[in-house]
Amino acid sequence: MNLAAHAPILAVAVPLLGAFALPLWAKLRPSLRDLWLVLVAGATAALTVLVAVQVYTVGIQVYTLGGAWPLDTLAPGGFPIRIVLAVDALSAFMGLITALVAVVGFAYAWRYLVEDEGKTLALTLGTLLWAGMLGMAFTGDLFNLFVFFEVTSIAACGLVGYRTWASRGPEAAFKTMVMYTVGGLFVLLAIALLYGEYGALNLAYLARQITGSVVDRIALALLLGGLLMKAGAVPLHMWAPDAYGEAPAQAVILLVANTQISLYALFRVLFTLYGGVADPAIGWLVVALGTLTLLVAALMAVVQMDLGRLVAFGAVSQIGYMLLGVGVGLTAIAARPAYGLVAIQGGIFHMLNDAVAIGLLFLAVGAVEKAAGNRNLANLGGLGHDLTWTTGFFLLGSLALAGIPPLNGFASKLMIYQSSFLLSPILSALAILASILLLAVFVKAFQGAFLGPKLSQPKPVPVPMLVAMGVLALGVLALGLFPELVVRHLVAPAADALWTGRDLYLRAVLGR
């Protein structure tokens, strides 16, 4: 068996099957379950990296299910009826983000989760969510996008609400589930409209056929609505702070990666599917939603007294920066390719930076909750005396998120500021304003929770949790100190895949 050729499907299948085997191992013995999780997570991460290396060095990887040969995308007659996985640089980039987040999250969960409080459930659902995210990133046809969308929805809501002995978790999970399900149904309706018009589900085939008719526009509006619901963009963000606030910390960073995967699906739809009939008005719509998101979420963060919800609104506002960057790119790229490309690179680079920085913050909040027993800023204080490392990690993450040089948030936000300035100076002024607001919010949170006199003796934070946070903290520093390297080798190919790489993508799947 040629491992490299089969790696895309194995990267989805291994965590999917591995997740369902986890509870069986746990029945025998928890240590067997942990061993199995290490094997599954290691294999999945290795396969994702293998796919990414193949994509970055060789080119787009295509895998056909049910064909005689992985590259047999077309049935006799030149019509793509089989299920196709198509991995280009952007998909591989998203795959790498999920792998990083999942591995760090599982390392953190080892000592963060308590054995008789549903640890097996949380690990199983986390692995399942990872499988769904990889499926969404790698799939090459619309219907499987919907199926994996729902896989991630169910796993994510399970993670938010599995702690049924408390009342807040299930409530947040129900809200989230309603939003995700309606979003999923919008996506399904759009798929039905496109299928009714063109009789195909393959993304590349549809991209060739699409004409921009009224039905196509309705389908685009539905896809936009459905995917933005899942990405948590204002005004569809109501679920996000609840879910981020109530889920356990290692699940929250998976949920953040999940919102980014929905954004990836949105960009795939906007650029690859509708790239041939691109309309600057859609770009402006995305820009407007992005600006609204980053501003409203930053303002909402100011009034929060719960540390988890405060960071959650910070996470929502970061989604706005990604939308702003890519929206500016969509608006400007036809007229000024160089600027548009920088904007898209900024948006995509910010995904990685956000996953690392906000992940670090959420893990630090989880550590605070475990050590001090609550997260309310009114009751916290003086944790910096005992939790030295956690304090440092929280400070590093919040400065990175507020865009302070030389940390990683600054590197990508600068690209977004620069390129949105060209479109309209007001946009970059608003984006900078939101960053300043976030800085104020995090200063307040840091001062309230970590500085001041010692209020009580917190429990020590277990070492595996510190190691997991340390990995992300190293990422914050490395991405901030060497952004050029990352942009040139990882982000630029991913951004190219959206615009100039569109024809390559279509040709890789359709063969012509």
Partner 1 sequence: MIGNTPFVVCMVLVLLGLWALLFRRNLIKVVIGIKIVENGVNLYLVATGYVRGGIVPIYTYAPPDAAMVLPTPQALTLTSIVIGLATTALMLAFVVVIHRHKKTLDGRKVTELSG
The site string for partner 1 over 32-61 (x = CB under 8 A, - otherwise) reads ------------------------------
- Encoded amino acid at 368, one letter: V
Angle between helices 30-57 and 119-138 (to 10 degrees): 20
* H helical segments located in 80-167: 89-112, 119-138, 142-161
Q: Does 147 bind partner 1 (CB under 8 A)?
A: yes
Cβ(395)–Cβ(446) under 8 Å?
Answer: yes
* List 31, 164, 388, 500, residue binding partner 1 (CB under 8 A): 164
Rounded least distance, CB 169 to partner 1, Å: 9
Residue list 243-272, contact with partner 1 (CB under 8 A): 245-246
Cα separation, 45 vs 33, whole angstroms: 18
- Encoded amino acid at 443, one letter: V
Q: Does 299 bind partner 1 (CB under 8 A)?
A: no
Peptide bond before 425: cis, by omega within 30 degrees of 0? no
Closer residue to partner 1, CB minimum distance, 241 or 448: 241
Residue (of 220, 174, 172, 179) closest to 197 by Cα position: 220
Judge residue 186's burial from the number of C-beta atoms within 10 Å of its C-beta, 0-12 exposed, 13-18 middle, 19 or more buried: buried
Q: Does 421 bind partner 1 (CB under 8 A)?
A: no
Q: Does 216 bind partner 1 (CB under 8 A)?
A: no
Closer residue to partner 1, CB minimum distance, 158 or 475: 158
Q: Outline where DSSP puts E strands in 291-386.
A: none
Rounded least distance, CB 224 to partner 1, Å: 16
Sign of the alpha-carbon dihedral angle for 64, 69, 73, 79: negative
Closer residue to partner 1, CB minimum distance, 305 or 422: 305
Judge residue 132's burial from the number of C-beta atoms within 10 Å of its C-beta, 0-12 exposed, 13-18 middle, 19 or more buried: buried
Q: Does 201 bind partner 1 (CB under 8 A)?
A: yes
User: Tokens for 501?
Assistant: 């790489």
Cα separation, 433 vs 412, whole angstroms: 16
Q: Does 135 bind partner 1 (CB under 8 A)?
A: no
Angle between helices 119-138 and 249-267 (to 10 degrees): 10
User: Tokens for 252?
Assistant: 């929250």
* H helical segments located in 373-407: 388-401
Q: Does 157 bind partner 1 (CB under 8 A)?
A: yes
* List 168, 454, 489, 507, residue binding partner 1 (CB under 8 A): 168
Applying CB under 8 A, which part among 59-67, 187-195, 256-264, 286-294 lies near partner 1?
Answer: 187-195
Q: Does 173 bind partner 1 (CB under 8 A)?
A: yes
The site string for partner 1 over 383-412 (x = CB under 8 A, - otherwise) reads ------------------------------
Applying CB under 8 A, which part among 23-31, 34-42, 111-119, 240-248 lies near partner 1?
Answer: 240-248
Residues at the interface with partner 1 (CB under 8 A): 81, 143, 146-147, 150, 153-154, 157-158, 161, 164, 167-168, 170-175, 177-178, 181-182, 184-185, 188-189, 191-192, 195-196, 199, 201, 241-242, 245-246, 300, 303-304
